[in-house]
Amino acid sequence: MSDDTDSDITKPAAEAAGFTIAQRQEREKRLRRRANMIATFSTIAVVLAIIVLVPLAPGWEKVQRSFFNGEVFLKTFPTLVKAFMLDIAIFAWSAPIIAVWALVVALARDARSPALFPLRLFATIYNDVFRGVPVILIVYLIGFGIPGLGLPRPWNSPYIWGSVALVLSYSAYVAEVYRTGIESIHESQRSAAKSLGLSHWDTMRYVILPQAIRRVIPANMNSLISLQKDVALLSFIGPVELLRQAGVFKSLYANFTPYLGASLLFLAVTIPATRLADRMIAKQNRERS
Amino acid sequence: MNTSTKTLVLACAFGLASGVAFAQGECSMGKTVTDGVLTIATGNPAYFPWVIDDNPASGQGFEAAVAYSLAEHMGFSNDQVAWTRTTFDQAIQPGAKNYDLNMQQYSITEERKQTIDFSAPYYTAAAAVLVRQPTLDAGASATLDSLKALKWGAGAGTTAGSLIASLIGPDSQTLLYDDNADVTEALKAGQIDAALLDLPSALFTAAVLLDDGAVLGQFAPDASGDLDQFGAVMEKDSALKPCVDAALAEMAADGSLAGIEEEWLQGATGVPVIE
Amino acid sequence: MTLKLELKEVYKSFGALKVCRGISMTVDKGQMICLIGASGSGKSTLLRCINLLEEVDGGQILLDGQDITDPSLDPLPFRRRIGLVFQSFNLFPHMTVMENVMLAPRRVHKPPKAQLIAETTQLFERFGLADRMKYYPDQLSGGQQQRVAIIRALAMKPEIMLFDEVTSALDPELVGEVLDVLRQLKSEGMTMILATHEMGFAREAADKICFLDQGIIVEAGPPQQIFDAPKQDRTREFLSRVL
């Protein structure tokens, strides 16, 4: 009871009750420490319960042998790390292209002049199609389909056309994000730039886009995180990246542990990226308020 | 005579015919997923020439025929055989299974035996090199040096990937695909020059799926040091395994296995052996 | 006195809402005109029409005798001759105030860099903000931001400046510094049109007052006449409410 009242107490009242600021701070620190301790204990308790209770399940031994097999893990993990480098490479060359192409699509969709209507129509159809079809189907259709037209090597490489599929698909999403950003910039900024005699393109380039792009960075971070995972879809058309390598080991050892290793590798990249995105969003919300 | 009477009559006939088999069917009694029924899994879809027209219940195709013969030798009549479909992953995941046997060209390996049981082998497969005419025109031949220079592809769930590495050791990274349909697609798109498949699948793909397919050569079945043998997959420590193995031994002894192979897996002669 | 700007029967509607219903007026070179009237009387829209941010539905706007509303003409060169300052400053938040000021001249007039920097610095010095050039807009007070916005418009060397209630968003103690800038501009001979609620300032500084109500100019004349002896009832009524 006394806990509640003195945490709500107003400052003069607190002074009247004989609290000094130092005492208050000391008190708050104690409360925080206690909260931290409770959180730690409950976490440990839950983890312990999982560690103790799950193995009691009748199928545990088989599950352990199939999913948490230390021997298989050690044998396969180094090769999985190597395969993951291919994912990172595909990601590294796809992401910048997506950033640029998506911007082109977003600007095309934003084209206001009636003469540019065909461009706007094209961009709208593009967005509808590539956001409406699952990425894996795009990867299949473009990865096998375009090389099937008879392109000579190396131009029929699944690395190229798989990346093209990812770029086309993800650009549609990222273009929408950009567009939201562009529309979120207040009309008065456009008016100000126009009143100064800046052209439509200069207004876009120097006034609208720098603000819009900055504003959508957190949202685009999320797109990048899912791109990092979807890079694995390229395995369907040949490249032996992490997911495929794990699948090969799974078949070879008839064991799912390599998938666990692959998950850990993906997490090693996506968890820090997710935290970073969260932090950026939080920072932006603080700035806006 | 309507259909149900027909079925009844047929069932009685089978019952009489397999009267002897029932006597030796004691072995599998109470060890199957469903009492008195042998449930066999195959792929989805199941491919020629292992199962014809993706219809295993017809008994047409090598594995379908082996399955019915095996069931008969274990003491199950034809209508006591039930079919189900699984992926490779479903075949190896822990926990209760919804099949007794899973037959879809699983190669028997020591590593896999850690997690699942295999029957005795029902087929010894030679690995064959599938190519298209343009590759032949470019001068590819059934020599190791020539094969090394090719761009290779294989099914990821098969042992072909590791066979390519150990038998050929190609100059460039092998590309791997979900199944043979995708491997064929990559061949068509020119993304790979050659694929390593089991000989029957290679012959079928070259003849039916590709316009200009050819089987360049085959490796002797024991070229990899281990024989590449297909076995039926069972749950780890399956009680049914001794019964299956005994029936397969019997099928080998009475010549029925060889007969089925001859009926369904013809045309392997004339493919050059790669030394 | 030379005629600088002339409005002839300007009409502007937004959908069914008729905002300007035939506005005519003349502005001589070096004159300061104050538009007064209640919110929604059409003052802001009129200024945006003169700056060609809004297309007029009818009538003409003549700048040095040339009709700038002619749809066959590119509006950009005209806009550059007419500066507009907004109630809410509308500075570009991602640039320093110096970059805010330099952007349009750099893109439009493309002067040598050293010259541009020198001219910009001079402008900031003229309006007492030389020590704030490297700051971002949100690091400045409202009054300072509005002065920067005025500098930004002046950097394009306009022939006419339009001010759209430029003190309305400011705390009362910051209004003075902005009005001082307007007085300074007038003394330097700039032609100006203001939409304003600062009646004291209008009376003291304007050459002509136009009272707008419901999209028309009800009464126009020198400040003494409008404020001390309005002829129209509507003018009298409005002034009695605001004074």
Choose among A254, A256, A255, A231: nearest CA to A242.
Answer: A231
Contact yes or no for C104 and A214 at CB 8 A: no
> What pLDDT shows up at residue C202?
94
- For A204, which DSSP code? I
Give residue-wise pLDDT tens across range A244-264: 999 888 888 888 999 999 999
Distance of residue A122 Cα from the nearest chain B Cα, in angstroms = 29
Q: Are A215 and C74 in contact (CB under 8 A)?
A: no
Tally of domains in chain C? 1
Instruction: Name the residue among A196, A202, A207 with its Cβ closest to that of C156.
Output: A196
B225 shares contact with chain A (CB less than 8 Å): no
> What pLDDT shows up at residue B161?
87
Q: Which backbone phi and psi does C209 adopt, to 5 degrees?
A: -115, 135
CATH for the stretch A63-288: 1.10.3720.10
Q: Angle C142-154/C113-126 helices, nearest 10 degrees?
A: 130
> What pLDDT shows up at residue A167?
96
Interchain CB contacts (distance < 8 Å): A and B: 98
For residue B145, give the CATH number of its domain. Answer: 3.40.190.10
Interface test with A, best of C45, C48, C103 (most A CBs within 10 A): C103
Q: Tell me, yes or no, whether B260 lies in a domain.
A: yes
Indicate the pairing of strand C160-164 with strand C191-195. Answer: parallel
**Ranges of residues in chain C whose predicted pLDDT is under 50:** none
Residues B101 and B36: their CA atoms lie apart, in Å, by 14
**What separation, in Å, do the N-terminal and C-terminal C-alpha atoms of chain C show?**
32
Spell out the residues 6+ positions from residue C221 whose beta carbon is closer than 8 angstroms to its own: C208, C209
Residues C71 and B240: their CA atoms lie apart, in Å, by 90
Contact yes or no for C107 and A192 at CB 8 A: no
Residues C32 and C24: their CA atoms lie apart, in Å, by 16
For residue C238, give the CATH number of its domain. Answer: 3.40.50.300
Element (H, E) at B131: strand B127-132
Tally of domains in chain B? 2
Chains that touch B (3 or more CB pairs under 8 A): A
- For A66, which DSSP code? H
Statement to judge: residues B38 and B91 lie in one domain: yes
Spell out the residues 6+ positions from residue B67 whose beta carbon is closer than 8 angstroms to its own: B40, B56, B59, B81, B101, B103
Q: Residue ranges of the domains in chain A?
A: 2-56, 63-288
A68 shares contact with chain B (CB less than 8 Å): no
Contact yes or no for A196 and C90 at CB 8 A: no
**Ranges of residues in chain B whose predicted pLDDT is under 70:** 1-25, 222-227, 266-269, 275
Choose among B34, B37, B16, B159: nearest CA to B97.
Answer: B34
Choose among B130, B128, B104: nearest CA to B118.
Answer: B104
B197: domain range? 126-219
Residue with tokens 């599998």: B28
Q: Which backbone phi and psi does C129 adopt, to 5 degrees?
A: -125, 20
Q: Is the pLDDT of residue A6 over 80?
A: no
For residue C134, how many other CB atoms are within 10 A of its CB? 10
Statement to judge: residues B141 and B64 lie in one domain: no
C80: domain range? 3-242
Give residue-wise pLDDT tens across range A190-238: 999 999 999 989 999 999 999 999 889 888 988 999 999 999 999 999 8
Q: Tell me, yes or no, whether B19 lies in a domain.
A: no
> What pLDDT shows up at residue B1?
44
Interface test with B, best of A79, A157, A252 (most B CBs within 10 A): A252
Spell out the residues 6+ positions from residue B45 whose beta carbon is closer than 8 angstroms to its own: B54
Q: Percent of chain A at pLDDT above 70?
A: 93
Type of residue numbered A247: G
Percent of chain C that is helix, strand, coil (3-state, to 5):
40, 25, 35
Q: Is the pLDDT of residue A289 over 70?
A: no
> What pLDDT shows up at residue A67?
87
- What's the whole-model pTM score? 0.77
- Judged by average pLDDT, the poorest of A53-62, A85-94, B144-153, B159-168 is A53-62
Statement to judge: residues B164 and B133 lie in one domain: yes
> What pLDDT shows up at residue B12?
46
> What pLDDT shows up at residue B268?
58
